Amino acid sequence: MASQVKDPALAAQGHRNIEWAEKQMGALLSVQERFVKEKPLTGVKVGMALHVTKETAVLVKTLIAGGAQVSITGCNPLSTQDDVAAALAEIDGVDVYAHKGETKEEYYDFLNRVIAFEPDVTIDDGCDLVYEIHQNHPELIPGITCGCEETTTGIIRLQAMVADGALKYPMLAVNDSKTKHLMDNYYGTGQSTLDGVIRASNVLLAGKVLVVVGYGSCGKGVANRARGLGAKVIVTEVDAFCGLQATMDGFLVMPMAEAVKHGEVYITVTGNKHVIASKHMKEMKDGALLANSGHFDNEIDVNWLNDNNTGKREIRPFFDEYTIGDKVIYLCGEGRLVNLAAAEGHPSTVMAMSFCNQALAVEYGVKHKNELTPDIHQLPAEIDDGIAALQLEAMGIDIDELTPEQIAYLASWNEGT
C-alpha cells in the first residue's frame, strides 16, 4: 500500500521535528527500548486514527520497535502536521494517509484505507475508527483483538455503544488513566489551547474577560492558565460539582445567558454540542472571539454562523471574522480543536505519558486477549502508576519510599488515638 501525504519533500523537516519531540519524551523512549528487546507486538497490525503530530510519530516508532506494522490516518481534518506525515511515510512498516485541510470525503476515504489494512488492534482519538468498523465493516470484528481510545469524547461515544449493546470488541480506556486525563487534558490542553488562540489572533489575554465553557479536566487547565496570563475568567458549567469546584477555585460561575453579557474571549471544552448556540452569539458583545478545544467542531454552532452572517472574511489563516447584524464575531480554527488547528497540539512532555499509555495498552490488550470482553476496560493501576514513575525518572526526580514500619501501619487498624 502506498502512503498518501501532502508532500514527501517535507520529510526532512518532519524527521527533525520528531527528533525534537523525542528529546522531551524520555518515558516513552524507555518503553521503546524495552520493546526493541522484547518485541511484544511481533506480527500485530495496528490501525490508528490519531492526530498526526510529531509526538504521535514517536508512538508509531515505539509500536514498530515492538514488532508491529502500522497504518495511520488523522482524527481531525485540520490536525495533521504535513512534514511529520511525510517523515512517517519513509519509515518501514508504516503506511500513512493524512494531510492538513482534508475534506470530509478524504477523511472517510483515509479512515477506510486504514480499515482495509485489517488491523488486529485499533487506536482511536474520538471513536471514528471504531464507529466506522462497527457500522460498515462488521466482518472484521472477529479478527480484532482490542481497541484503545485516547479522549473523553471517544469514551462518551463508547459508553453510549455499550448502553445500546452495540460494542462488539474490547476497548481500553486510555483516556481514563490518571497519567492521561489528569496530565494531558489538564496541563496539555490547558497550555496548548491558549497557544492556539494566541497564534491565531495574537490577542492580549491580560485584562480580558475570558469565558471557559466546561470545568472538567481540560477546562480546569485552560481556566487556571488563562488566569495566570491575567485574564478575568468566568466559568460556565452544567454539573453542580464542577460548578462548585470552579467557584472554590476562585472563578466567577454563571449561566451562559449571563456570561454573554461580559465575555470577550470564549473557549469551549465540554465534549458537548452547541454549548455556544445561536441565542448566545446573538447576545455577545461586538468583537467577541470564539475558540473550541473540545474534540468535535459542534461545540460552537459554526453552521449557524456560516448560514446567518452578512459577511465572512478570513483575517488570516485559522482566524475568520463574521458580520452578524451590527457586530462582528471572530472564530479561531473554524471551530475545530484550536490547539491542533492553529498551533501544534500538546507539548511533547505531556504526550509522552499519554502515549506510554497507548503503547502499554496495546501490549496489555495483546497479552490478555483471551480475557478481555467486548466492554470498556481501564488499564490496571500498576501500568498507570508505572508510567508516573517512568515520567519522574525521565525528569530526573526522585521521591521517597514507604518504610517497612509505614507499610505495616497503613495495613493495620489497631493504632488510633
Q: Which is nearer to ligand NAI, 141 or 198 (CB)?
A: 198
State the residue for C-alpha cell 486510555.
Answer: 174
Minimum separation from the CB atom of position 90 to ligand NAI (A) = 26
In this structure, the number of other CB atoms found within 10 A of the CB of residue 240 comes to: 8
**Nearer of residues 91 and 288 to ligand NAI, judged by Cβ:** 288
- Least Cβ distance, residue 132 to ligand NAI (angstroms): 18
CA–CA gap between residue 27 and residue 183 (Å, rounded): 14
- Cβ of 112: how many Cβ atoms within 10 Å? 17
Quote the CA–CA distance of 33 and 60 in Å, as a whole number: 14
Number of C-beta neighbours around residue 373 at 10 A: 9
Residue closest to ligand NAI when measured from CB atoms: 216
Nearest approach in angstroms of CB 140 to ligand NAI is: 25
The nearer residue to ligand NAI, 213 or 305, going by C-beta atoms, is 213
CB of 193 to ligand NAI, least distance (A): 6
Minimum Å distance from CB 268 to ligand NAI?
8
CB of 235 to ligand NAI, least distance (A): 8
Host H or E run for residue 65: helix 54-65
Nearer to ligand NAI, 50 or 390 (CB): 50
- What SS3 class is residue 85? helix
In the complex, minimum distance from the CB of residue 218 to ligand NAI, in angstroms, rounded to a whole number: 3
Question: Smallest Cα–Cα separation from 157: which of 280, 56, 49?
Answer: 49
* 321 neighbors 296 (Cβ within 8 angstroms): no
Based on CB atoms, which residue is closest to ligand NAI, 41 or 235?
Answer: 235
**Of 66 and 221, which CB lies nearer to ligand NAI in the complex structure?**
221
**Min. distance of Cβ 335 from ligand NAI in angstroms?**
12
- 148-181 burial by CB neighbour count: b if 16+ within 10 A, else e? bbbbbbbbbbbeebeeeeebebbbbbbbbbebbb
Where does this chain bind ligand NAI (CB under 6 A)? 151-153, 181, 185, 189, 213-219, 236-239, 242, 269-272, 275, 293-295, 337, 339
As a whole number of angstroms, the distance between CA 380 and CA 334 comes to 38
| Terminal Cα-to-Cα distance of the chain (whole angstroms) | 70
CA-based nearest residue to 144, from 153, 157, 134, 154:
134
Q: How far is the CB of 175 from ligand NAI (least distance, A)?
A: 7
Q: Is the Cβ of residue 121 or residue 253 nearer to ligand NAI in the bound state? A: 253
Q: The cell 487498624 sits on which residue?
A: 413
Task: Give backbone dihedrals phi and psi of 58, rounded to 5 degrees, phi first.
Answer: -70, -35
Q: Which of 198, 111, 115, 189 is nearest to 153 (CA)?
A: 189
What is the β-pairing status of strands 319-324 and 311-316? Answer: antiparallel
Name the minimum Å distance from CB 343 to ligand NAI. 10
143: DSSP letter: G
3-state DSSP call for residue 72? strand
Which CB sits closer to ligand NAI, 273 or 312? 273
Residue among 122 and 185 whose Cβ is closer to ligand NAI: 185
Crossing angle of the two packed helices 54-65 and 82-89, in degrees rounded to 10: 20
- The grid coordinates listed for 368 are 490478555
| 151 vs 201 by CB, closer to ligand NAI | 151
